[in-house]
Amino acid sequence: MSPDDGTVAGTGEFALIDAVTAGRRQPAATLLGPGDDAAVLAAPDGRVVASTDVLVHGVHFRLDWSSPEQVGRKAAAVNLADIAAMGAHPTSLLVGIACPPDTPTEVITELAKGMWAEAERAGIGVSGGDMVRADQLVVSVTALGDLGGRAPVTRSGARPGDVVAVCGNLGWAAAGLAVLGRGFRSPVGVVNAQRCPEPPYAAGPQAADAGATSMIDVSDGLLADLGHLAKSSGVGIDIRSADLDVAPRLVEVGTALGADPLRWVLTGGEDHALAATFPPFGDPPEGWRAIGAVTIAESGVTVDGKPYEHESGWEHWR
Which one-letter amino acid corresponds to residue 294? V
228 labelled binding-site residue: no
Task: Give the relative orientation of helices 13-21 and 105-121 as an angle to the nearest 10 degrees.
Answer: 30
60 labelled binding-site residue: yes
129 labelled binding-site residue: yes
SS3 228: helix
7 labelled binding-site residue: no
Burial of 226 from C-beta contacts in 10 A (0-12 / 13-18 / 19+)? buried
299 labelled binding-site residue: no
Q: What is the DSSP string of 270-291?
A: SS-EEEEEE-SSSPPPTT-EEE
- How far, in Å, CA of 42 to CA of 44, rounded? 6
Q: How much helix, strand and coil, in percent to the nearest 5, is found in the chain? A: 35, 25, 40
283 labelled binding-site residue: no
82 labelled binding-site residue: yes
Question: How many CB atoms within 10 Å of residue 219?
Answer: 22
Sheet with 273-278, strands from edge to edge, namely 214-218, 273-278, 163-167, 289-295, 236-239, 301-303, 306-307
Contact in structure between 279 and 222 (CB atoms under 8 Å): no
- How far, in Å, CA of 92 to CA of 122, rounded? 9
* 18 contact partners, CB below 8 Å, separation of at least 6: none
53 labelled binding-site residue: yes
Contact in structure between 203 and 85 (CB atoms under 8 Å): no
SS (H, E, C) 102-122: CCEHHHHHHHHHHHHHHHHHC
Residues 68, 69, 71, 72, CA torsion sign: positive
Binding residues for Mg(2+): 37, 51-53, 82, 130, 217, 220
Binding residues for substrate: 60, 270, 314
Binding residues: 37, 51-53, 60, 82, 129-130, 155, 217, 219-220, 270, 314
Binding residues for ATP: 129-130, 155, 219
